[in-house]
């Protein structure tokens, strides 16, 4: 047997290839949309990809299951658990098998046993692997998907938080408790292969270690220390990270079936003469580093540097309009791959950043200032400070005069802000607030300033901040 691990750092997404060397066939577990790496690895190792196994309908990235089925005819092994609204809808025309608790399937001489591990989502399943080709009669490990992570477990509130399915968080938490109790009965020696690592919004406190064992997680995973269901429910629903709004889009896309991109899919650079129409009709994302963007950019564009694109495009790009990129030509395909992975389908093309600058269209700027330069205006109320950090960061401490508007929801909440006052945007270091400054300018705010160094620099200068006091019980 061969086990290969793939990790998409931008999405904190882990996927796997399991190959039977005797039969020369392989299965990909929880594949991402960019399937070329799987096909290249299979070719390198002398395998044919004949199957795909998915633990659930993913919400945080576009699955590559349909792309593999379409490209190489891989059989789809997917969950048939859960309610009707969470059934795969694109299986007609593909070789597929809907799986239930207790089922098993073979890929060559490797056996996969199915456990229904609901809670994160109603249809979630896990795969227990036994290498029968190697003579084993006991399992080696379990692919847990978004059920059990290293140091954490999948959150049960995504359907409610991201998809608006009211009441599902509580019921999901109770289902998750049941699944956790079952997980604890597995042999301690089993390896645990999850679908995410540190940085994923699918749970809280995920570890950066790629794999673990059942026994280790039973001993050290905080979420596995509860024997009381009510205490578990209270723990698992508290302090979860913000659920990106695009998660609801991903659930629908992966349920209905992502668009097939096809071999050789690519994008083109466009003539800068069409940029004004692009701003009017779509979302134009400028990938320029923020200090350069601040010094001159096209009005109506938003700034998300390439290394922050995967984290923030899903919050800030309008999925119902075409997306355009201002970038260096060599950045276009990398950026488009990132956007496709989070379900941005209509990527209309890119504009060369140098041609944009030469065109004279980059007429808008915004100012920046240090805490020392801005503290008097902030403290006196001469400007309005906007803190775009997460709720947890805000709760841990913030500047007294700030108003909290989380960056991901800033496009929707910007209408609450005053147009007749200078807005100073602040985060921890100045990177997210730079994105926020561009969002506010694109929304029509003229007087916008980015606080250089953010809250960290403010505190380093010894300037005052507050930490909310917990509510007193009566």
pLDDT in tens, 253-299: 999 999 999 999 999 999 999 999 999 999 999 999 999 999 999 99
Alpha helix (H) residue ranges in 11-165: 36-45, 65-72, 158-161
pLDDT in tens, 16-33: 999 999 999 999 999 999
Percentage of the residues of the chain whose pLDDT score is greater than 90: 84
Predicted pLDDT of residue 421: 95
CB 438 within 8 A of CB 297: yes
Question: CA torsion, points 387, 392, 396, 397, in degrees to nearest 10?
Answer: 10
Tell me: pLDDT of 220 over 70.
yes
- The whole-angstrom separation of Cα 83 and Cα 472 is 41
| C-alpha of 290 from chain center | 22
188: left (phi over 0), alpha (psi -120 to 50) or beta: alpha
On average, the pLDDT of the chain sits at 93
DSSP state of 189: T
Q: Considering only CA atoms, which of 374, 384, 396 is closest in space to residue 454?
A: 374
Q: Considering only CA atoms, which of 37, 310, 64 is closest in space to residue 200?
A: 310
Pick the catalytic residue: 20, 202, 327, 427? Answer: 427
Percentage of the residues of the chain whose pLDDT score is greater than 70: 97
Predicted pLDDT of residue 165: 63
pLDDT in tens, 36-78: 999 999 999 999 999 999 999 998 899 999 999 999 999 999 9
Predicted pLDDT of residue 305: 98
Tell me: pLDDT of 472 over 50.
no
Predicted pLDDT of residue 457: 97
Predicted pLDDT of residue 466: 87
- The whole-angstrom separation of Cα 17 and Cα 40 is 12
pLDDT in tens, 171-205: 999 999 999 999 999 999 999 999 999 877 777 77
pLDDT in tens, 361-403: 999 999 999 999 999 999 999 999 999 999 989 999 999 999 9
Predicted pLDDT of residue 212: 97
First to last CA, the chain: 61
Predicted pLDDT of residue 168: 79
Average the pLDDT over each of 196-200, 225-229, 313-317, 448-452 and give the range with the smallest value.
Answer: 196-200
For the ranges 52-61, 157-166, 247-256, the one whose mean pLDDT is highest: 52-61
279 or 169: which carries more pLDDT confidence?
279
Predicted pLDDT of residue 166: 62
Q: Considering only CA atoms, which of 302, 293, 271, 176 is closest in space to residue 233?
A: 176
pLDDT in tens, 142-155: 999 999 999 999 98
Predicted pLDDT of residue 167: 66
Predicted pLDDT of residue 81: 96
Q: Considering only CA atoms, which of 207, 209, 214 is closest in space to residue 191?
A: 214
Tell me: pLDDT of 248 over 90.
no
Predicted pLDDT of residue 164: 59
Q: Which tokens is 172 given?
A: 């999901």
Tell me: pLDDT of 474 over 70.
no
Q: Is residue 427 annotated as a catalytic residue, yes or no?
A: yes
Predicted pLDDT of residue 473: 36
For Cα atoms 277, 436, 63, give the angle at the middle one, nearest 5 degrees.
Answer: 75
Question: What are the phi and psi torsion angles at 114 (to 5°)?
Answer: -100, 130
CB 222 within 8 A of CB 181: no
């Amino acid at each position: 047997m061969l086990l290969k691990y793939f990790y998409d750092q931008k999405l904190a997404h882990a996927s796997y290839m399991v190959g039977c060397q005797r039969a020369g066939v392989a299965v990909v577990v929880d594949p991402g949309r960019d399937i070329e790496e799987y096909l290249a690895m299979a070719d390198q190792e002398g395998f044919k990809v004949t199957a795909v196994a998915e633990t659930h309908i993913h919400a945080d990235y576009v699955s590559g299951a349909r792309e593999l089925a379409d490209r190489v005819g891989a059989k789809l092994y997917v969950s048939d658990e859960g309610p009707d609204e969470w059934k795969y809808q694109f299986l007609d025309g593909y070789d597929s098998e809907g799986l239930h608790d207790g089922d098993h399937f073979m890929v060559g001489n490797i056996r996969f046993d199915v456990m229904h591990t609901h809670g994160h989502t109603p249809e979630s399943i896990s795969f227990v692997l036994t290498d029968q080709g190697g003579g084993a009669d006991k399992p080696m490990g379990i692919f847990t998907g978004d059920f059990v992570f290293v140091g954490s477990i999948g959150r049960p509130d995504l359907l409610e938080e991201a998809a608006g399915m009211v009441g599902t968080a509580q019921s999901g938490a109770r289902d998750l408790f049941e699944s956790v109790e079952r997980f604890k009965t597995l042999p301690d020696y089993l390896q645990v292969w999850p679908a995410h690592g540190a940085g994923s919004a699918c749970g809280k406190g995920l570890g950066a270690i790629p794999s673990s064992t059942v026994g280790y997680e039973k001993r050290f995973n905080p979420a596995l220390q509860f024997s009381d269901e009510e205490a578990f429910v209270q723990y698992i629903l508290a302090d979860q990270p913000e659920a990106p709004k695009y998660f609801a889009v991903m659930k629908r896309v992966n349920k209905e079936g992502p668009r097939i991109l096809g071999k050789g899919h690519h994008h083109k650079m466009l003539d800068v003469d069409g940029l004004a129409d692009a701003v009017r009709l779509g979302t134009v994302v400028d990938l320029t580093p923020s200090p350069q963007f601040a010094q001159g950019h096209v009005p109506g564009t938003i700034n998300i540097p390439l290394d922050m694109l995967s984290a923030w495009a899903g919050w800030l790009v309008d999925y119902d309009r075409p997306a355009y990129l201002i970038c260096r030509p060599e950045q276009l395909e990398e950026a488009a791959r990132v956007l496709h992975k989070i379900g941005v389908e209509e990527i209309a093309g890119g504009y060369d950043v140098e041609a944009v600058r030469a065109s004279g269209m980059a007429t808008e700027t915004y100012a920046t200032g240090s805490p020392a330069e801005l503290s008097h205006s902030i403290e006196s109320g001469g400007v309005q400070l906007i803190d775009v950090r997460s709720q947890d960061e805000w709760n841990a401490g913030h500047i007294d005069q700030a108003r909290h508007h989380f960056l991901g929801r800033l496009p929707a909440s910007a209408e609450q802000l005053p147009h007749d006052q200078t807005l100073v945007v602040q985060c921890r270091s100045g990177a997210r607030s730079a994105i926020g400054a561009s969002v506010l300018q694109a929304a029509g705010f003229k007087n916008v300033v980015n606080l250089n160094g953010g809250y960290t620099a403010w505190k380093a200068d010894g300037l005052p901040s507050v930490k909310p006091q917990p509510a007193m019980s009566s």
